[in-house]
Each structure stands twice: as C-alpha cells, then as structure tokens.
C-alpha cells in the first residue's frame, strides 16, 4: 500500500519551510515630507524663507546649499525601471555623494507588503549596504531603497558638480551590482554610459526644531512647466525610526502648517518634476 499524504498538507509544509528560511525584510526608517505654499512661506523678493517661518521652527538665517543632478538616458529608461541615480554636493563637504535609489510605490498603507515585494527582488535585511526608507507624503508613501557612495571632489570647488563625462565615469565606476544587473547583465552601466544630466537644482536647506523633532525646510528652485521661469518647491520634512511616531507627527505637522496657512495638500514629486522638466 502506498501511504497517501494529502497534497494540501505537503504544500503547506513546503510553504512553512520557505518562509522560515527566507531572509527577513529590511527595516526602514521614515521621512515625512510635506509641501508648503511658496507664496506664503517665501519672501517675494529673494525667495528665501520668511522670518515668520524661520522663527516658527527656530531656524537660523544660515542655510546649507545642496547642488543635485539626476542621470538618465534621454528616453528615461533608468527612471522607468524605478531607479534614480543622482550626484549631490553639499556645502562644506569634500566629497560627492552618489546615490542609486530604487523606488517602490506603496499601495495605501501596505508598508510591510511593499517590503516583502522588495525582499522578493533581492532587497532583504542581509544586505546592509542598502538603506530602506519610507518617504511619507501628504497622501502617498513610497519605499525607497538606496545605495550611497562617496567620491572625492578633488579638482572641484564649492557646490560645483561634475560635467556629463566626469559624472558618467563616477557613476559607472561606483555602480552597485544590483543596479547594474537589474534588467539584464551590465544594464545599469550601459545606460549610465549614455546618460545625460537632469538638473542641476541648487537647493537650500534650513534646519530647525518643531515638537521636539529636528525639522528641515528645503527650497528647491525647479524649472517651471513652460521651461522659461522657476517654480519654487518648499518642503518641510523630518525623519524618525518609528512608524507610529511618523504617522502621529505627519498628522500633527499637517495641522500645524494648515493653522499657519502654509500647507499645500499635495504629494511632493520633486524627482519626477526634475525628470520631466530638464
């Protein structure tokens, strides 16, 4: 007699073994990002934060300048695959910061489901080279998984960024394996070798405090939709390791900004705007 085990039980056992042996999901931190109304938050003359905004967050008048460029082929094949390679130079630093960022849109509040999707694509807690972050906007959340590299800025000064050929070389030299092989062998380096610059955008960051939390307010002058002028994007943000705190303070900061007449009830899509307008 052949002993018969019901197939569903076998399937269940196999599933249990699989889920036990899989590496755990990455643990993200949280960055809440909310838009402020540039016509209310900026001086009309110099497009800097008004004294009222600075004082509400206990911010000094000094800012940190950050110059940022994104890189992609003209048909945006890298962005279409969910990746954003960028080079940033911050005032006072002596290195370029290269970031290779993969985005996963989060459906509703399903942060854990999205981490599981990323896990299935090779991003799990075993890879400490990548950082996971939930970018928590007004109504949408995005999981971003980033690999950061630094490259010496020798030969450059201030917040100067590399030209196209130097940037291509830096990004190709530092390309992480997962990005390179995302679509096929050497996909990433092949695309980067013919990439162009989207940007640059010279942003200004102010740092202050609100509700016992360090808060940043950044002003990003981005080319406007007509391509002839400048649209100022003003974004308030804070970071936390706690999902609960992110949610509570997200709502509290919206209430605070709304009370001041500074809030814009839209999601911030800076990278998308830059990819569209440059």
Ligand X SMILES: *[C@@H]1O[C@H](CO)[C@@H](O)[C@H](O)[C@H]1NC(C)=O
List Cβ neighbours of 132 (8 Å cut-off, separation of 6 or more).
26, 27, 28, 29, 115, 118, 123, 143, 144, 145
Is residue 254 close enough to count as binding ligand X by CB under 6 A? Answer: no
3-state secondary structure of 249: helix
SS3 89: strand
Query: 25 or 69, CB closer to ligand X?
Result: 69
Q: How far is the CB of 242 from ligand X (least distance, A)?
A: 9
Contact (CB, 8 A) for 133 and 28? yes
**Which one among 248, 261, 265, 266 touches ligand X, defined by CB under 6 A?**
248
Positive or negative, the Cα torsion across 30, 268, 52, 220? positive
Task: State which of residues 52, 209, 211, 258 lies at the interface with ligand X (CB under 6 A).
Answer: 211
Strand 29-36 relative to strand 130-136, pairing: parallel
Whichever of 131 and 166 has its CB closer to ligand X, that residue is 166
Binding span for ligand X by CB under 6 A among 25-33, 71-79, 160-168, 218-226: 160-168
Could you give the CA distance from residue 26 to residue 97 in angstroms, rounded to a whole number? 23
Is residue 163 within the footprint of ligand X (CB under 6 A)? yes
For position 169 contacting ligand X by CB under 6 A, the verdict is no
Nearest residue to 35 via CA among 173, 110, 179, 138: 138
CB nearer to ligand X: pick between 202 and 252: 252
Could you tell me which stretch among 37-45, 115-123, 243-251, 259-267 binds ligand X (CB under 6 A)?
A: 243-251
The yes or no reply on residue 165 touching ligand X (CB under 6 A) is: yes
54 part of the interface to ligand X, by CB under 6 A: no
Interacting residues with ligand X (CB under 6 A)? 155, 163, 165-166, 211, 245, 248-249, 252, 256
């Amino acid at each position: 007699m052949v002993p018969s085990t019901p197939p569903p039980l076998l399937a269940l056992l196999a599933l249990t073994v699989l889920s036990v042996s899989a590496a755990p999901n990455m643990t993200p931190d949280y960055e809440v990002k909310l838009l402020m109304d540039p016509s209310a938050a900026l001086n009309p003359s110099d497009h800097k934060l008004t004294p009222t905004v600075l004082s509400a967050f206990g911010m000094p008048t000094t800012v940190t300048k950050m110059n940022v460029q994104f890189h992609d082929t003209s048909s945006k094949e890298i962005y279409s695959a969910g990746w954003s390679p960028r080079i940033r130079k911050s005032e006072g630093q002596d290195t370029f910061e290269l970031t290779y960022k993969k985005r996963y849109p989060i459906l509703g509040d399903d942060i854990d489901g999205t981490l599981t999707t990323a896990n299935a694509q090779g991003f799990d807690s075993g890879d400490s080279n990548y950082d996971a972050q939930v970018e928590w906007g007004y109504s949408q959340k995005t999981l971003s998984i980033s690999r950061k590299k630094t490259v010496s800025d020798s030969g450059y000064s201030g917040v100067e960024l590399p030209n196209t050929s130097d940037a291509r070389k830096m990004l190709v030299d530092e390309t992480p394996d997962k990005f390179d092989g995302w679509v096929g062998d050497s996909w990433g380096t092949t695309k980067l070798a013919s990439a162009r610059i989207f940007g640059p955008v010279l942003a200004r960051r102010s740092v202050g405090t609100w509700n016992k939390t360090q808060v940043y307010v950044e002003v990003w002058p981005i080319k406007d939709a007509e391509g002839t002028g400048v649209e100022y994007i003003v974004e308030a943000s804070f970071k936390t390791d706690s999902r609960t705190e992110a949610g509570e303070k997200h709502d509290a900061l919206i209430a605070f900004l709304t009370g001041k007449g500074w809030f814009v009830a839209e999601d911030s899509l800076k990278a998308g705007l830059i990819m569209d307008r440059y």
